[in-house]
Structure 1
Amino acid sequence: IGQVVSSFNKMVEDLLESKREVEKSNEELRAARDSAEKRRNYIEVLVESLNVGIISLGADGEIVNLNKKAREFLELSPKDPPQKAVTLPSWVTLRDAIADLKKRPQQKKEILLTFRDEAKVVLAELIPLTREGISYPGSILIIEDITDLSRTQRIAAWQEVAQRLAHEIKNPLTPIRLSAQRIRKKLRDNAEDLNEAIYEGTTTIEREVESMMSMVNEFSRFARLPEIHLKSGSIADLVLAAALPYQNAYSKVSFSFNIPDNIPNILFDQEQIERVIKNLFENSIEAMKMSGEIRVSIFEKDKYVVISIKDTGPGIPQEIRTKMFLPYFSTKRKGTGLGLAIVARILEEHGGKIEVDNEYSEGAGLLIYLPR
């Protein structure tokens, strides 16, 4: 009997201990659930309070949820279901931006959203759902209203352009005016060398007008760059093809290439990028006075394919490196200052960029970054 009683008491103690462990586990579970609920509420409040639109997209691109700012962008009321956004005209623009951003992850795209009473300039970014290297279905679209910033930047840019245009037009006007005054004086005095004065004056006028026309045409090209059309292709093949005419035309300019076979195909507009490469080749050849070496290499770095173009010319002075890609900045006596600005703009449209290779000291070195 004593053994039975002892066994019973032991069983009771075990049951009580199990009960205490279950109760403790339940308390810990409740605490964890409360903590998770508080964290979820905090994140919801945080997301709702952000001054940028956040749209959660499912694996198939469907709208799962959106915050208050995104609803304002899309003109959705708080009671409207998220799926209603796809019926709105503004979603068509966003949908196209999403398709473009999927090709270029972690890039940002400036888009124009048109509403009933106004247009807004929006910066859109698509972020894949990943954590610790693991990818999850869906993505997050972040949209930020940069209308005021864009307007301010545009005003500042056009003020600079207007000042530069006024300066560039004023320069040839002076010799034109002087030539006209000289011809008028010769006519009034019935001078013997009148014909010579007319010939010299009209030659000067024609030359200066052609200079102005060249500047205006270049400005027109800059202001009306065509929209890029991205297609998958070999950037290595394009660079080699772009170099060939210069290799044939300039016997004292040598080209060397370091291009691995495993450079991946990327998305780019062939006509526009060819224009970029040829512009840089021409700059190098001119800087080297048509005699020297151009070294071209292509490699991968982070999320980019990088094209390095180096020459053996005089190099790029340190003081102009931060200004050389701005519109109308030029060190050439007859330069329009738009060549490198067009290059920079084309690369920006591709989600890329151009930089001076500060580590290269044997001449000028430029690095072209294109997303892969």
Structure 2
Amino acid sequence: MDEAFRRQDEIGSDEREGRRRLLLLVLVRAGVFAVLLLAIWLIDAPGGTMPERRHPGALWGLAGAVIAFTVAYTVRLRRPLSRSGLHAQIQILYDVLLASILVTLTGGVESPMTFLYALPVISATFFLGRRGVFWVAGLCCLILGALFLLENRGVLALGRPPPAGLRVAYMLMLNFSVFLGVAFLSGMLGEQLRRTGRELRKTEKSLERVQALHRDIVTSLKSGLVALDSEGRVSLVNPVAARILGAEREEALGRPAVEILPALKPLLSQSPGARQDGSLRTEVNHRRTTDGREIPVGLTLSPLFHPDGTSAGMLIHMQDLTEFRAMEAVAKRAEQMAALGEMAAVVAHEIRNPLGSISGSVQMLEQSGRLDEAERKLLGIARRETERLSSLVSDFLLFARPRPPGLVETDLGDIVADTVEAFRASRGEDAPDIRIQPGEARARVDPDQFRQVLWNLLQNAADAVGPGGRVDIDCRREASWAILEVRDDGPGIPAEDRQRIFDPFFTTKEKGSGLGLAIVSRIAEAHGGRVEYLPGDGRGSRFRVRFLGVGP
């Protein structure tokens, strides 16, 4: 297919080149004929020579025909030609005919215009090739020989006695030699010109392919590439680099690089000798002008050299390290959680057993009938704090050493309804107004862990809105994801705290453990999904958890 398109392109290019040459031939003919008419007019003027050989009426009629032919063909050549070779042959035959008429009108054997036959011979060089040139030269010799013989025999009367036979033979030999000599030289030069033209077009095509390959490589790079000239101005920037820098490609070209990436200034100010032995690798922070966001950018600066070894500028390879830094943070957090998990086993063993003993002892004391009201109140406080501490240890263990999810295909709507009912019962009169929006979603989840995710989100929402506040739950399908969304109309989360809400032990509550949302995040990641916080419309908060959906 590509070869067919390339061939079609070459045919179109040849057709345009043929039209250009034909137009040039038509205009050159008109110019030459205008000069000849001026010369003939000067000869025919008072004081001119050989007025008996002139035919003013025929000459001016011929001039009109040439003008009409030139105008008609100029208009025709504005449109594509299906057979440019045929049109070239018509033009050359027309030139031969025109030369024959002018020779006849200006003296025949003694005409000074016989050189005009050399013009179609030269024209044929550009259209017909070497063989065609000799064919045209032979045609010119044949026609001129016929004209001279007709004049010698008296058939062609030009207003003077017929020329002598020796004179005719001499003039024919002279002109034939000129025509054939011109044919030989022009054919040889034309062949060389065509060969050079073919090589030039081949070179141009190769250059275009190399340029296209270069452009495709630079455009397809997954990292940023910027080239600077010797003055530090941007001479090349690929789309990825433009996106990293936050600048349009057209705006970046020609500008000093330090205006687009100010962090380059200390790097470019180093002496060239400090970098010629190798590339300079570093990392900078860049604030993009498009969104004002500061991102980490990895840079590799490499010097560019001309073939003679002189400096040609600088090549800068850049990469947005935002995702890389995020992956590093995830890996670091995973290491911390692994260490935390080891410590959790020790904590659970050292704390839970004593807590169980304390809780059991308090319960036994509460059953004693010899306690007064103050003592019972103190024991109630001790029991509640023991239960709170036990719950905190359970959350800590759930976060630090979560069990692998046991995935089963589940209708999330059923779990949502059961969990909401249990949550309302646990809150009693302090429960907010919880509304479940209609929707269906099926996913492969661990039902207990999904219930834990929803419970923690409901607990956060209820604490935020208080009794009488509103909480909406939406469970739906989006593409390949099953979405659980919990919205509330509370005060929302301050912007400065939003980046830390999923960190363990971060809380803004007076008695919060800071593990609720961290547990939600861990469970979502274990299911191959994620949780994200979205500000509410005007106020409130939205937490959206994605799980891998199943079914249509």
Greater percentage in helix: 2
Q: Looking at CA atoms only, which structure, 1 or 2, has the larger radius of gyration?
A: 2
TM-score range, shorter chain: 0.3 to 0.5
- TM-score, with structure 2 as normaliser: 0.33
Provide the TM-score with structure 1 as the length reference.
Answer: 0.46
Q: Which has the higher strand share?
A: 1
